[in-house]
Amino acid sequence: MKNHSLFTAVACVVGCLGLMMLSVAAMGRPIYSPPDSTARSQTDAAQSDVAVGGTIGSALIDPNNPIRQLFEGERLDLWSLRPIDLNTPSTLPLREMAPAAPPVESLDGGAWQHPVDQLLFGLPSPWLHSSVEPALPNDALDRRQLLQRLFLDLTGLKPSFEEVEDFLAQTDPTAEEQWVDRLLASPAYGEHWARLWLDVVRYSDSNGFDWDEFRKEAWRYRDFVVRAFNSDMPYDTFLTLQLAGDEWVEGTPKNAWEQDALLATGFLRLGPYDNAAKLFNEQDRARVEVLSDLTETTAAAMLGLTLSCCRCHDHKTDPLSHADHFRFRAFFAATQFEDAKSIELDSTMAEIESHNARVQSQIESLRSEIAKRLEPLKASAGPETQANEPPTAPSPPVAPDAQVAPESEEQRFEKLSETDRAVVDAARTRIQELQQELRQPSVAMLMVDNPDAIDSIRVLDQGDHHRPREEVQPGFPSVLDPNPASVRKPIGGKSTGRRLALARWIASPDNPWTARVIVNRVWLHLFGEGLVATPNDFGISGAPPNHQPLLDHLARTLIESGWSIKALQRHIVTSHAYRMRALPFEPVQSDAGTNRVSARHSLRRMSAEQLRDAVLQVCGRLQHRSGGPPVWPELSMEILQANPAVLDDNETKTKGWYPSPERDQSVRSLYLIQKRTLRLPWMETFDLPENTVSCPKREASMVATQSLSLWNAPWVTTAATDLADRLAIEFGSDVESMVHALFRRILIREPNDEELQQCCRYLERRRLAELALVLINTNEFAFVP
């Protein structure tokens, strides 16, 4: 059974058995079946589009839908409300398509084979309105640049000169696809694509606000995301686990998958939190902010819905009511922080327990040893007698007798003989050592439900928590389903089941937003522009899709592949559209009166992460790291003071700055600490986004401070010097060879004659490290081809 159809299958099961089995069951994973006795699942409702048995249907078809009444039937023409168009071509090759698609001419006069290209360039396109002209194809990048683009887009890193040469030497027509597969399988892939998602869910390692406390365990969520991308976790599962992964885990996790199911719910815990609010009796405000942030981030990240716009009133443009914001918020009404949740596997936990029991028993025996030394004093026995007893003799701990022993332990200790004191001292030291050996189970920072403390969620007048109005029940956007969501409390009752209900509705092939939103994000990251230019806003005030048939085709491809992100990416990057040379921005379509589809690669400056990683990589300094706690760069006190809380370090070591050892500093940027109030200056200069709200798209500014940073920052010049030193050892005084080597390392090509001469002349006066710095600063280095 294909994964995407699981929820449909589930619906049948629900209907027949009154039971629900989740998609993971069919993926060969442990089955956990939260009971759901409702006969009508959300999937049913979305599919049937018919109001049945007293429930109200989608506003698209049901005149009684309150959204239809609220906005007087307007706003329902929003494109993204419509089901994903199943009439776009599937991933099947053209020849198997319906005859409706006429042959279309490609650049070389042949027919476009790839569905993406057919959709974009097909002339005339059967899928576009007749007034819309297809896009103009551009020619393909040369293969050297293409491989660089593939590397940077799929792994975030640059290829080596040798890898490019190998590729160029390959005559096998499948060479490119082989590279695509190799890159998708590389661990660096997940490290790069995790960043996409971490931006969208505003990942941070700290609380924000005054104290901006370090969240020691937040990285476990980051590592989960990396693993999810690397293992190509189906996207519907990926979302479901983040919202409700805890529903799959009874007690301690039994295997790595269950462990990830728990860690995924770290998503719920990522938002900023004002930990100082309680000091000023503002917990209410802090709680409301947590819930509204969770609501708005979930809606923006997973659905492209701007629920932030209806926190205070009905949405200004979209078919979303004020109450819709709070209905959505109610799915999270029982959530509580859980910062001490053990995520150890069952088996590891047993190991830890038996290890700790062993250590504990050693501690106990030492304690009784000490007690024995000290105890006889009370019975006025001579210390010498005690000292003669074999020190290892087992002796049960003796209960202190308050009446005869008013002396403190220390007083008694003072009375011992020197030998005995040495024995006791040694035992005490050993106890301390043993206590260090006790293993703590690993914990994660998550959210869990407290079913006994569900916030009553009320519509807040003007979004102001001082002005609560009517209470609402959990529900999806009323435009599609105005009824209260059917929520079932799972057996065991550790959760309310609300988040699970939400997850099921979101991670569904029938949800009109979910698949479209993620395929648009993937397209954006591969082309520099989304098919929908506003990736977090699929509403009326957002940009309409510049090519909806293509967007829907990709959404359908994703769903049909079992929500495989890698399959989607492979599908896109093997199109001609992906291989095209970048095109300059065209401000206005030039053919007057026509409405031409735009499909272009914009020229993208590398992100802050890519740029830093690339500098380290080409200089041979990039270190491999597979996850783990964040790396803290060494920063001057002058910079650290940006948040004065850093000066006020505390015992739990959450407010200060804790630089990692020098040897760990050159890891990929993904692993650098990401505090909310103290940004890494170099990264910030290169447009690292604000991490308190969802970032749909990286900006690339062009400002002088960036040039100063890449030209003068000590870590850059150190890396350049390092590289130059190594090349100098290798090539001695052979200037031409050194120039060649530098170009190969940094620009991944040979210098041309002019450049070679120019650089050799330059090196008559200047050092090789300076030349390395120059090449690192070139546009050729900084832009994705």
Partner 1 sequence: MPPRRSKLGPRSQILGGRRDFLGGLGCGLGSVAWHALSAPGWAQDRGVGDMDPLRPYASRRPHFPATAKSVIFLFMVGGPSQVDTFDYKPALIELDGKPVPSSIRQALANSSHANVFHGCEDMLMKSPFGFKQHGQSGTWVSDLMPHLAGHVDDLCFIHSMQAESNNHAPASYQLHTGDVRAGKASLGSWITYGLGSENSDLPGYVVLFDAGPLGGAANYSNGFLPPAFQPTRFRHSGPPVNDLLPQPHFRDGQRESLDLLQSINERHRDQNLGFLELDARIATYELAYRMQSAAMHVGQLDDEPEHIHRLYGADDTEPRTQSFSRKCLMARRLVERGVRFVQVYDMPDKDGWDAHDRLLENHQPRAQWTDRGVAGLIADLKQRGLLESTLVVWASEFGRTPMVQGKLGRQHNAAGFTVWMAGGGIRPGMHVGATDEIGLMAVERPTPFRDLHATILTALGIDYERLSFEISGRDERITGVAGTAKPIEGILS
Nearer to partner 1, 166 or 282 (CB): 282
> Cα separations (Å) of 116 from 88, 574, 618, 668?
10, 9, 34, 33
- Binding of residue 380 to partner 1 (CB under 8 A): no
Nearer to partner 1, 39 or 312 (CB): 312
Using the rule CB under 8 A, give the single segment among 5-13, 37-45, 247-255, 675-683 that binds partner 1.
675-683
444 forms bridges with which residues in the sheet? 341
**Which residue matches tokens 């993406």?**
116
Nearer to partner 1, 581 or 625 (CB): 581
Using the rule CB under 8 A, give the single segment among 242-250, 360-368, 401-409, 686-694 that binds partner 1.
686-694
- Rounded to whole angstroms, the Cα distance separating 255 from 34 reads 19
- Binding of residue 592 to partner 1 (CB under 8 A): no
- Binding of residue 704 to partner 1 (CB under 8 A): yes
Nearer to partner 1, 731 or 783 (CB): 783
- Binding of residue 145 to partner 1 (CB under 8 A): no
- Binding of residue 587 to partner 1 (CB under 8 A): yes
Task: By CB under 8 A, name the one of 42, 536, 564, 654 that touches partner 1.
Answer: 536
Q: Which residues contact 565 (CB under 8 A, 6 or more apart)?
A: 193, 229, 232, 235, 518, 522, 558
Task: By CB under 8 A, name the one of 93, 396, 400, 644 that touches partner 1.
Answer: 644
631 forms bridges with which residues in the sheet? 672
- Binding of residue 755 to partner 1 (CB under 8 A): yes
- Binding of residue 687 to partner 1 (CB under 8 A): yes
CA 389 to chain centre: 63
- Rounded to whole angstroms, the Cα distance separating 142 from 582 reads 12
Nearer to partner 1, 155 or 295 (CB): 295
Q: What residues from 549 to 568 belong to the interface with partner 1 (CB under 8 A)?
A: none
- Binding of residue 103 to partner 1 (CB under 8 A): no
Least distance from C-beta 592 to partner 1, angstroms? 12
Q: Which long-range contacts (CB under 8 A, 24 or more apart) does 194-197 make?
A: 194/222, 194/225, 194/226, 194/228, 194/229, 194/670, 195/156, 195/607, 195/609, 195/670, 196/521, 196/522, 196/525, 197/225, 197/229
CA angle 9, 14, 19 (to 5 degrees): 115
> Tell me, what DSSP letter sits at residue 352?
H
Nearer to partner 1, 495 or 706 (CB): 706
Using the rule CB under 8 A, give the single segment among 51-59, 510-518, 554-562, 762-770 that binds partner 1.
762-770
- Binding of residue 462 to partner 1 (CB under 8 A): yes
Identify whether the C-beta of residue 161 lies closer than 8 Å to the C-beta of residue 744: yes
- Rounded to whole angstroms, the Cα distance separating 777 from 785 reads 15
What is the per-residue binding string for partner 1 in 165-204, x denoting contact by CB under 8 A?
Answer: ----------------------------------------
Nearest of 204, 195, 191 to residue 293 by alpha carbon:
204
- Binding of residue 658 to partner 1 (CB under 8 A): no
Nearest of 89, 44, 226 to residue 553 by alpha carbon:
89
Q: What residues from 213 to 252 belong to the interface with partner 1 (CB under 8 A)?
A: none
Q: What residues from 398 to 437 belong to the interface with partner 1 (CB under 8 A)?
A: none
Least distance from C-beta 752 to partner 1, angstroms? 8
Task: By CB under 8 A, name the one of 1, 279, 350, 357 that touches partner 1.
Answer: 279
Task: By CB under 8 A, name the one of 141, 309, 531, 559 that touches partner 1.
Answer: 309
Nearer to partner 1, 361 or 778 (CB): 778
Residues making up the chain, counted from first to last: 785
**Which residue matches tokens 């522009």?**
529
Using the rule CB under 8 A, give the single segment among 92-100, 153-161, 380-388, 752-760 that binds partner 1.
752-760
- Rounded to whole angstroms, the Cα distance separating 8 from 48 reads 12
Task: By CB under 8 A, name the one of 122, 156, 475, 539 that touches partner 1.
Answer: 539
- Binding of residue 643 to partner 1 (CB under 8 A): yes
- Binding of residue 595 to partner 1 (CB under 8 A): no
In 3-state terms, what secondary structure has residue 460?
Answer: strand
Burial 88-104, CB ≥16 within 10 A → b, else e: bbebeebeeeeeebeeb
Least distance from C-beta 673 to partner 1, angstroms? 14
- Binding of residue 325 to partner 1 (CB under 8 A): no
Task: By CB under 8 A, name the one of 346, 544, 717, 735 that touches partner 1.
Answer: 717
Using the rule CB under 8 A, give the single segment among 50-58, 226-234, 277-285, 445-453 that binds partner 1.
277-285
> Tell me, what DSSP letter sits at residue 459?
E
Identify whether the C-beta of residue 437 lies closer than 8 Å to the C-beta of residue 373: no
- Binding of residue 469 to partner 1 (CB under 8 A): no
- Binding of residue 777 to partner 1 (CB under 8 A): yes
Can you spell out the DSSP letters for 110-170? SB--SHHHHHHH-SS-TTS-TTEEPPPPPPBPPHHHHHHHHHHHHHSSPPPHHHHHHHHH-
- Binding of residue 706 to partner 1 (CB under 8 A): yes
Task: By CB under 8 A, name the one of 57, 122, 253, 272 that touches partner 1.
Answer: 272
Report how far apart the first and last C-alpha atoms of the chain are (Å, whole number): 41
Least distance from C-beta 718 to partner 1, angstroms? 8
Cis peptide bond upstream of 383, omega within 30: no
Using the rule CB under 8 A, give the single segment among 262-270, 480-488, 536-544, 730-738 that binds partner 1.
536-544
- Binding of residue 699 to partner 1 (CB under 8 A): yes
In 3-state terms, what secondary structure has residue 381?
Answer: coil
Nearer to partner 1, 32 or 762 (CB): 762
